[in-house]
Amino acid sequence: MKMTAVFEKELVNIDGKVFFPYLSNNVIRKRIRELASEIERDYKGKNPVFLVVLKGAIFFASELMQNVSQPIFVEILKAESYGNRLESSGKVNLFLTNRNFGGKDIVVVEDIIDTGLTIKTIMDELAKFEPSSVELAVLLLKKEKLKFNLSIKYCGFEIPDKFVIGFGLDFAEYGRNLKDIYILKE
């Protein structure tokens, strides 16, 4: 099935779903700089591993890492739970490129947490490698939808339980490249 996407300045239409501007690029980048400062303070004298959850977190991770002025290591993890849907499928598939996390300080970098299933699955998997520490850095949190007790140390924004696209977030792979974040009109 072919999907259609129309990007205009004030709205985005993806296969009949209309999204309106929600967070501007300037607001997003300012908050990411603040998070980077917190991470630098907390990991002073250490070399944390930034474990970036693909694909959505690449924009957030890139901006975050560019604002951290100390040495860091970067690893990637692919997690799939949405497909072409507006809600998680309830099943998470993980693909780790590296499993050498023992004794290391890890910052898991994620674009969005809604129910928390994906990030809980990631945290459970990482615990098997006995890292020194694991913290979460997330751009967007849907706190009212969260089903798991997660310790989120670095949170960009708490948002309502609405579907969002842009700045790495997508709907069926569309909208990921938008510089701002847009929210679904209901």
108 — pLDDT class (breaks 50, 70, 90): very high
The answer to whether 137 touches 110, Cβ cutoff 8 Å, is: yes
Which residue would you say has higher pLDDT here, 60 or 128? 60
Per-residue pLDDT tens for 70-90?
999 999 998 876 555 555 556
**Domain ranges, ordered by start, for the chain:** 5-184
Does position 156 have pLDDT exceeding 80, yes or no?
yes
Q: Looking at 114, 124, 161, 180, which residue is catalytic?
A: 114
Q: pTM of the entire structure? A: 0.89
Query: In the annotation, is 114 catalytic?
Result: yes
CA 122 to chain centre: 13
Does position 30 have pLDDT exceeding 60, yes or no?
yes
pLDDT of residue 86: 56
The answer to whether 184 touches 164, Cβ cutoff 8 Å, is: yes
Long-range contacts of 3-9 (CB under 8 A, 24+ apart): 3/172, 3/174, 5/174, 5/175, 7/175, 7/178
Pairing of strands 181-184, 17-23: antiparallel
Q: Which CATH architecture has domain 5-184?
A: 3-Layer(aba) Sandwich (3.40)
Does position 160 have pLDDT exceeding 50, yes or no?
yes
d(CA 159, CA 37): 22
Does position 93 have pLDDT exceeding 90, yes or no?
no
